[in-house]
Amino acid sequence: MSPLNTWIMMKENELVRKFFEENSSRVFAYIMKMTGNKDDAEDCFQDCFIKYTEKYPDKLSIPLLYTVAKSVCIDSFRKNNRYQHNVEEQVSKVETPEDKMISDDTQRILKRAMDSLSVEERELISMAGPQGLKYKEISEITGMTLSNVKVKVHRVRIRLKELMGEGKDGK
């Protein structure tokens, strides 16, 4: 049994245990996308839940959980002396189940299009797409206004479609 499972089992509060169980797979996927390495993701994942309960013992908030996850990943990158371009490379290399369903050609075009997005744009599209977060949750995680999140996600989707169209045309 992993240390996280042991730790959760020791928690007496059923709501806290249920909250972590319901959100663990999505948070792990988010952390995995940020780190690009399963071992680092597992370490960050465990740190995320521990730090969350230390900082917010009486709150069960998905946006706060993602904020802590993001913070833990950033701390891990700093601790391991990784630079921003390495982070971007790691995030773009992660293969999700959705990626496996896309043809190799389309995946290559998508990767090239995603690589041309800024870190903020990639983060927004990741949270709105594969992570399936609501705009309000994204707003709380990023600190942007709700309307700003909606506009930016919409613009990133349009830009991504345009970039993918260019990739298919061979430009």
Ordered structural domains, the chain, with CATH: 1-84 (1.10.1740), 95-171 (1.10.10.10)
153, 138 Cβ separation under 8 angstroms:
yes
Instruction: Kindly provide the b/e burial profile for residues 73-106, where b requires at least 16 CB atoms within 10 angstroms of the residue's own CB.
Output: beebbeeeebeeeebbebbbebeeeeeeeeeeee
**pTM for this prediction:** 0.48
pLDDT given at position 82: 47
**pLDDT tens-digit profile of 59-68?**
888 888 888 8
Tell me what pLDDT residue 1 has: 46
Residue with tokens 């391991």: 80
97-140 pLDDT, tens per residue?
555 555 666 777 877 888 888 888 888 888 887 677 889 888 88
